[in-house]
Structure formats: structure tokens, C-alpha cells
A and B are shown apart, each in its own frame.
Chain A
Amino acid sequence: MPEQLVFAMEVFLNGLMAGVLYALVALGFVLIYKASGIFNFAQGVMALFAAMTLVGIQNGQVPFSHLINAMFGAHVTHFGWNIPSVVSLLLTVGVMILLAWCIQRFVFRHLVGQEPIILFMATIGLAYFLEGFADLMWGSEIKTLDFCLAGSACLPQGINVAIDEATYNLFGYGFFIDNLDITATVVAILLVIALVAFSQYTKHGRAMRAVADDHQAALSVGISLNFIWVLVWSVAGFVALVAGIMWGAKSGVQFSLSLIALKALPVLMLGGFTSIPGAIVGGLIIGVGEKLFEFWVGPLVGGATENWFAYVLALVFLVFRPQGLFGEKIIERV
């Protein structure tokens, strides 16, 4: 097999893996947009906040320690204990649910019935608030994320030796696939199955879908909009936590995590804002497309094509299918 084709296959597989990571971020956007029609600009910052909270709890860090020290002249930084990853994860989920309640109670409850652009602007404000709040709560230094389920069963990173050897035997060249990417793929599949099962087979899931279809009709059959929106923001917060863990394991937990939202936008444009399968398929197409383009065309144009090519690819799809691949076609009577 020609060498370039073998290399392209490796790039293709890595593109799929990168696509899964993009889809993880895009999922949070889809959940909130589908249920409430809000394009949540703060989704990336929620991933940052969730990951910082997880590491902070895990390391026994005193929240707002900078503020406490500055106000009272104290020197507190840590409680002096470490909390196991799973317990920290559960506590972080609790914090994200509390955050969801606060967002609903103090922001969106007051904006019911407003234009979508107003709601969008509110999420921009929320993003900036959360950025500062996360810094104030946990500090702005880069934190190392060591997420271990039990003992030494931690998030794996580095080359997958089995794939490397298998492909070497087949093609004479061992493919590089990151163990973290494989883990992210498995987690994303489980997450999507859980989300689909939740929305299809649970009472609250069905209520969520009813709200997504028609707010007025859902209200008329006694579904609490407030509760459903808190639920949706909580689920989006959980998805943000998963995305934050996967991305944070690569780079450390730091402010730049909030910028991963930029990677989700072309995925949403391509897959549609209202479809969970759309987010997954969109992520895969963007991931593979940008990696293959960089591999073949990048060297001819000086490289660094991935950021802009993802948007070009999404725009091309939009020309033919404005609602995205899986988005709902909006038909309005005149």
C-alpha cells in the first residue's frame, strides 16, 4: 500500500477521535438549545468551571482562598486532604446542579418570553461572569488533572501499543492513536446512550422532549418549565464536566478550556442545533475533514488550516442544508 495512503488512514482515525472530542462540547449546546431555544454561549466556560471545581475539590483546595486571604489577612489555601476522584465527581455534579438552579432562578426566569437574541446576550454575560467567578473561586493557575476511578485506574494517555503493533504488522507502519482519545470515544458513546435512554424512557426525559417541542403545550399538561430548564442546564453542566475532564487531561485545567467552544460551533452548524446524533456526526465530519485537509493541503499553503477549514466545511454544508444535516426544517405559515 502506498505510504501516503497509510499515513492518510492514520490521520483519518485521529480525525475521528478529535471529532468525538468536538462532539462532546457540541452536545451541551444542543441539549440547551433543543429544550429552551437558547444558544448557550457560556457552554465552554461551563466546561472550564466544572473541571476547575473537580480539581479544586479533589485537591482539597479552599474555595475563594485568595479573597479570604485578602480580606482577613489569612493564609489559607488547602484543607489538607485529598478527595477520591469519584467522590469529587459526584460533588462537582452537585455544584453544577446548583449552578443550573442559580442560572435559572437569577437569570432566565426573569427573561421568559424575551427575544432569542436577548437570551443569547444573557449567556454572553453569564460566560464572562463565570470566567471571573471560576478564577476567584479556584485561582487562575494551571491545574493538573489526575482522574482515577480506583487505585491506578487513571485516565490513560499516550500511544495505544496494541493498535501500533497491529497496524505495523499490517502496513509496516504503526498508527498513533492516543489512549485518551479512545477513552473519550467510549465515554462519548456511553453518554449519548444515557442521554437517549433518559429522554426516551424516563418521565422527566419525556417532559424535556415535550418542552422542546412546544412550551405552551407542555405547560398546559402540567409540566413545570422551571424544573425542566433546571434539569436541562444540569444535564448540560454534566456534559460540560465530561468535556472538561477529557480536554483538561490533555492540557491541564486552565482558562483556555473555555475556548473549546470555538471548536463546537462548526460542528453545530454542520450537524444542526437540535439533534444529538447531529452533534456526533457533525463532530466526526469536522474532525476528519480538517485533519485530512491539513494533511493533504496544509503543506502547500503553509499549514495551520484546521481552524478556518472547519468553518468553511460547515458553510459548504449550510449552502445545501441550512438547518444542518440533522436539524429540524423550520416551516412557518405566512
Chain B
Amino acid sequence: MTKPYRGREELPAKTSDKTKGGIYPMKKVLVTAVAGLMAAAPAMADLVFPSLSYRTGPYAAGGIPFADGYADYFTLLNERDGGIGGVPTKLLECETGYNTEKGVECYESTKGEGALVYQPLSTGITYQLIPKTTADGIPMHTMGYGRTSAANGKVFSHTFNYPGTYWNGASGAINYLLEENGGDLKGHKIALVYHNSAYGKEPIRTLEELQKKHGFELSLLPVDHPGQEQKSQWLQIRREKPDTVLMWGWGVMNQVAVQEAANIRFPMENFIGIWWSGAEHDVLSAGDKANGYKALTFHNVGRDFPVFDDIQKYVVDTGKAAGAGDQIGNVLYNRGMYAAMLAAEAAKIAQEIHGTKDITAAMMRDGMEALEITEEKMTALGMPNFGPAFSVSCENHGGTGLVGVTQWDASSKTWSLISDFKPTDMEVIGKLIAEDSGSYASENNIEERCN
């Protein structure tokens, strides 16, 4: 260990003999200058990224791969690149159990550690943290969950939900159905099976607006938490014979829904889940009957990307992986890794904007607002065609809202991306975002920014 510099008294005694010879004054100047510099420049601290994870409780099966992906990417940056801009990253993991109270406790206990950006990984925690993070000046990234209208950066100064929101998801599903049905959905019957919670109800308003525009029939089938018993809903689906079933589920609700759909012999290719209903564990328990089930996505699937080779080499093979290393390429692992990459890229931009490697949460927010993800950048990062190209601005915290579709192959037990990342109906969504964020702003006396 290097002995710390203690000041003048540690200088070699013999130098004092040469005070008159001209050498010492020069040395003295240099030493003083170095000491002064050391005193003036603060110690380079780690870049702190809290991870509000849930490795226990009813949703652990989904929480673990996400948390592993998030952690492993930061470990990769440390091991391969020496951190971000040469500054090591530090992951602060805090277990929430997907419980809102615990999530808020995690936030309170970690925010003083120099946290740059929070990933609350829960819509409930997100709603609680929006006012807190805004007051504390710490940005929050709610990627593909949380409050959709937070995409309006004029109102939600510290909340970001790029590259896509639930409303993009709803519109993406309808656009996909339009494509599949020759651009006409008149008379098409769509049933929405949703978790009876704020999360599950998110797409309803958008779907109702799109229903007016495209003329499809929409029926709503709520499922109470946790969703272990869904017989009534699937009997209703069997009676009413919708053409398409959309699902906004999470946890055990997903597995039971896929099983029940298989039981009533609903055509799996007409069953589309949101991205939180489209992981491997959602379909594996239904076996071969789940073949053909589809899910929306805002990132690619599988492990055929150079970045995973690096993770294997620098993180897993060196025994530094957050998990056993067997989750690489799984949908939720990829999502966690993608979230970490977006945070790291925003941190890089923040370092560039402010000309310092040692960034603060305020600088990180600036970096997130200037984030631009291009295919060239993704390719350079070892993630070609891994996610959509998008940019963020002060006004737009939601990105471009491009949505893709994946499909499950039960024989190979893999998901495949079966469409490009395509635009969603921003005309409808933009109006809804303006409406919802506007009422939030007036309720909370928030003055619009970015003017």
C-alpha cells in the first residue's frame, strides 16, 4: 500500500542542507506545487450506480436475471475498460423484494452514496420516487415501465423512460396487428388480459383511443393479484372467441395465462404479451403448447452478440459474475445489461459535456438528456441491432418509442425477434402524454421547463 503524503516533515532531512545552493528552492517549489495540486483536486470517486433489485419474493424469477445483467455490464466496464472514462463504477445493490416500501427505503439509504441514476424496477416504487428524485436532483430511468407520461421532460425533469413506454407497447401491438391484417382491424376482436393493478391498467386508455381510430372491438379482462387462478377469464375468452389476446401480466400470472391459453387451444400466434410477459420462464412451464406465443420488446434477444463474449471472458470466466453466468442471453438478463449500457453511455456523455470524469447526479441528468443511441454506437459496443436507434432531449425523455415483436420457439426453447423495431402511433400517444403530464403539472404546481 502506498504511504500517504504527510507534508513537509517527511521531506528528506538532507535537503535542508542545500537551501542556499539553489537546488532546494526548485524542489520546494515543485513539491509545493504537487502538494497544492493534490489538495485542490478532489479524490477521484467511483461512479455509483444503485440497483434496486429483487432477488427474493414472488417476482424473484424475473428480478434475478435483470439484476445480474445490470451488474455484469458494470463489472465488464471495470474489468475491460477500467470503468467509464477511466473511473471505476460501483454498483450499490439493494433488495426491494418488489415491495414499494422497501424500494423507498433502499432509495433513502443509498441516495447519499453519490448515486448517479436509479433503476427502481417497479411501477409502484417509481410513482413513490418521482417526487423524491426530483427534489433530490437525482435522475431515474424507468425503462419500459413506470409512469408513461414521464416521457414529457418539460414536466418530469428527473424521470426518463426511454426507449419505450407501455403506451408505445399498446400501439406497437396494434400496429403489428394492422400489418398482419392488411391494414384493417374493423370488426377485429381484441381481448386484453391484464394484471388488475396500476401497471396492468396502463395500456387501456391508449387501446381505447386506438379502438376509436381503427374500429376494432376491445374487451377487458382483469386478473387479480397474483393471478394463480384465471379460469373465469379464459372461459370467457373461449366463449367470446377474440381474434387476438393481448396480455399485460407479471409474475405467476404470465405462466398461468400461457398454460390456460394452451388448455383452451387458443392459437398461440394470436396471443401477444407486453415485454414483461415475454421471458423464458413465462413459457417454459407450458412446454410445447406455448410454441408460437409472441411478446413485444424494445431490445433484441439471444446471446449472439460480441458483448456477451466479453462478459463471458472478463466477468464470468474470472468468477466476477453476479450470478452463475448461465443467464446470459435470456430476455431479462439482456434487458438488465441493456439498461446498464444506456446508463453507462449517458455517463460518458455527461463526462464529455462537463469536461470532468467525476460526474455528479446533476451532470448525469444532463448526459441522459443528451443521450443519442445510433446503430454505429451499438455496433461499436458489441451490440449490433440490439436495440432501436433513438435520441433523448430536454422535452422528450421517452425516446422514439420503437417496438419490435418476438416469438417463442418451444422446440429450441428460444425467443426470436420476428420484426424490426417499428414506430408507434405518436399522434395518439403524444396527445395522451400531454394530457396526463399536464394534469400532473397542475396538481403539483410544476412549471414547464425546456423553454
> When the two chains form the complex, which single residue of B221, B223, B263 contacts A157, counting CB atoms closer than 8 Å?
B263
Indicate if the CB atoms of A256 and B235 lie closer than 8 Å: no
- Minimum C-beta distance from A227 to chain B (A): 35
Determine whether B239 belongs to the interface, using a CB cutoff of 8 Å to chain A.
yes
Determine whether B228 belongs to the interface, using a CB cutoff of 8 Å to chain A.
yes
Contact with A along B263-296 (1 / 0, CB 8 A): 1110000000000000001001101010000000
Determine whether B432 belongs to the interface, using a CB cutoff of 8 Å to chain A.
no
Which residues of A238-296 are within 8 A (CB) of B?
Answer: 247, 250-252, 254-257, 259-260, 263, 291, 294-295
Stretch binding the partner chain, chosen from B141-149, B254-262, B364-372: B254-262
Which B residues lie within 8 Å of A66 (CB)?
Answer: 324
Contact with A along B214-256 (1 / 0, CB 8 A): 0000001111101011011101001100000000000110011
- Minimum C-beta distance from A118 to chain B (A): 27
Indicate if the CB atoms of A159 and B265 lie closer than 8 Å: yes
> When the two chains form the complex, which single residue of A75, A251, A304 contacts B196, counting CB atoms closer than 8 Å?
A304
Determine whether A303 belongs to the interface, using a CB cutoff of 8 Å to chain B.
yes
A97 to B239, CA, bound (A): 45
Known contacts A7-B239, A11-B235; is-contact A140 B224 (Cβ 8 Å):
no
- Minimum C-beta distance from B253 to chain A (A): 9
Which A residues lie within 8 Å of B264 (CB)?
Answer: 159, 176
Task: Give chain A's interface secondary structure class.
Answer: helix
Indicate if the CB atoms of B281 and A141 lie closer than 8 Å: yes
Which residues of B36-77 are within 8 A (CB) of A?
Answer: 55-61, 64
Known contacts A176-B235, A256-B228, A291-B231; is-contact A142 B255 (Cβ 8 Å):
yes
Across the interface, name the chain B residue whose C-beta is closest to A11: B235
- Minimum C-beta distance from B362 to chain A (A): 37
Across the interface, name the chain B residue whose C-beta is closest to A298: B232
Indicate if the CB atoms of B259 and A157 lie closer than 8 Å: yes
Determine whether B25 belongs to the interface, using a CB cutoff of 8 Å to chain A.
no
Indicate if the CB atoms of A260 and B232 lie closer than 8 Å: no
Which B residues lie within 8 Å of A250 (CB)?
Answer: 228, 256, 259
Indicate if the CB atoms of A141 and B64 lie closer than 8 Å: yes
Indicate if the CB atoms of A302 and B222 lie closer than 8 Å: yes
Across the interface, name the chain B residue whose C-beta is closest to A178: B263
Which B residues lie within 8 Å of A302 (CB)?
Answer: 220, 222
> When the two chains form the complex, which single residue of B56, B196, B252 contacts A140, counting CB atoms closer than 8 Å?
B56
Determine whether A158 belongs to the interface, using a CB cutoff of 8 Å to chain B.
yes
Determine whether B319 belongs to the interface, using a CB cutoff of 8 Å to chain A.
yes
Most chain A CB within 10 A, of B57, B58, B222, B233, is at B58
Which residues of A166-198 are within 8 A (CB) of B?
Answer: 176, 178
Which residues of A21-80 are within 8 A (CB) of B?
Answer: 66, 69, 73, 75, 77
A158 to B290, CA, bound (A): 12
Indicate if the CB atoms of A176 and B256 lie closer than 8 Å: no
A158 to B258, CA, bound (A): 12
Indicate if the CB atoms of B287 and A247 lie closer than 8 Å: no
Which B residues lie within 8 Å of A263 (CB)?
Answer: 228-229
Across the interface, name the chain A residue whose C-beta is closest to B289: A158
Known contacts A159-B264, A303-B220, A307-B224; is-contact A135 B232 (Cβ 8 Å):
no
> When the two chains form the complex, which single residue of B232, B255, B324 contacts A251, counting CB atoms closer than 8 Å?
B255
Which A residues lie within 8 Å of B281 (CB)?
Answer: 141-142, 252
Which B residues lie within 8 Å of A252 (CB)?
Answer: 252, 255, 281, 284-285
Question: How many of chain A's residues touch chain B, expressed as a range?
Answer: 35 or more
Across the interface, name the chain A residue whose C-beta is closest to B232: A294
- Minimum C-beta distance from B19 to chain A (A): 58
Across the interface, name the chain B residue whose C-beta is closest to A307: B224
Most chain A CB within 10 A, of B60, B264, B319, is at B60
Determine whether A325 belongs to the interface, using a CB cutoff of 8 Å to chain B.
no
> When the two chains form the complex, which single residue of A69, A77, A142, A260 contacts B285, counting CB atoms closer than 8 Å?
A142
Contact with B along A299-312 (1 / 0, CB 8 A): 00011101100000
Indicate if the CB atoms of A251 and B285 lie closer than 8 Å: yes
Known contacts A251-B252, A303-B220, A303-B222; is-contact A259 B235 (Cβ 8 Å):
no
Known contacts A140-B60, A158-B262; is-contact A251 B223 (Cβ 8 Å):
no
A303 to B262, CA, bound (A): 22
- Minimum C-beta distance from B219 to chain A (A): 9
Determine whether A202 belongs to the interface, using a CB cutoff of 8 Å to chain B.
no
Contact with A along B362-404 (1 / 0, CB 8 A): 0000000000000000000000000000000000000000000
Determine whether A144 belongs to the interface, using a CB cutoff of 8 Å to chain B.
yes
Which A residues lie within 8 Å of B222 (CB)?
Answer: 302-304
A14 to B289, CA, bound (A): 22
> When the two chains form the complex, which single residue of B61, B196, B232, B319 contacts A142, counting CB atoms closer than 8 Å?
B61
- Minimum C-beta distance from B187 to chain A (A): 21
A301 to B427, CA, bound (A): 32
- Minimum C-beta distance from A333 to chain B (A): 44
A69 to B323, CA, bound (A): 11
Known contacts A142-B285, A254-B252; is-contact A18 B231 (Cβ 8 Å):
yes
Most chain B CB within 10 A, of A141, A251, A263, is at A251
A103 to B407, CA, bound (A): 46
A132 to B56, CA, bound (A): 8
Across the interface, name the chain B residue whose C-beta is closest to A252: B285
Indicate if the CB atoms of A304 and B58 lie closer than 8 Å: no
Which A residues lie within 8 Å of B221 (CB)?
Answer: 303
- Minimum C-beta distance from A180 to chain B (A): 8
A7 to B229, CA, bound (A): 19
Indicate if the CB atoms of B60 and A255 lie closer than 8 Å: yes
Known contacts A69-B324, A304-B223; is-contact A256 B252 (Cβ 8 Å):
yes
> When the two chains form the complex, which single residue of B231, B265, B285 contacts A144, counting CB atoms closer than 8 Å?
B285
- Minimum C-beta distance from A8 to chain B (A): 11
- Minimum C-beta distance from A49 to chain B (A): 15
Which A residues lie within 8 Å of B263 (CB)?
Answer: 157-159, 176, 178
Indicate if the CB atoms of A73 and B58 lie closer than 8 Å: no
Residues of B at under 8 Å CB distance from A? Answer: 55-61, 64, 196, 220-224, 226, 228-229, 231-233, 235, 238-239, 251-252, 255-256, 259, 262-265, 281, 284-285, 287, 289, 319, 324
Residues of A at under 8 Å CB distance from B? Answer: 7, 10-11, 14, 18, 66, 69, 73, 75, 77, 132, 135, 140-142, 144-145, 157-159, 176, 178, 247, 250-252, 254-257, 259-260, 263, 291, 294-295, 298, 302-304, 306-307
Listed by A's residue number, 27 A-B pairs whose Cβ atoms lie within 8 Å are A7-B239, A132-B56, A135-B60, A141-B61, A141-B64, A141-B281, A144-B285, A158-B262, A158-B263, A159-B263, A247-B228, A250-B228, A250-B256, A251-B256, A252-B252, A252-B255, A252-B285, A254-B61, A255-B57, A255-B61, A256-B58, A259-B58, A260-B228, A303-B221, A304-B222, A304-B223, A306-B224
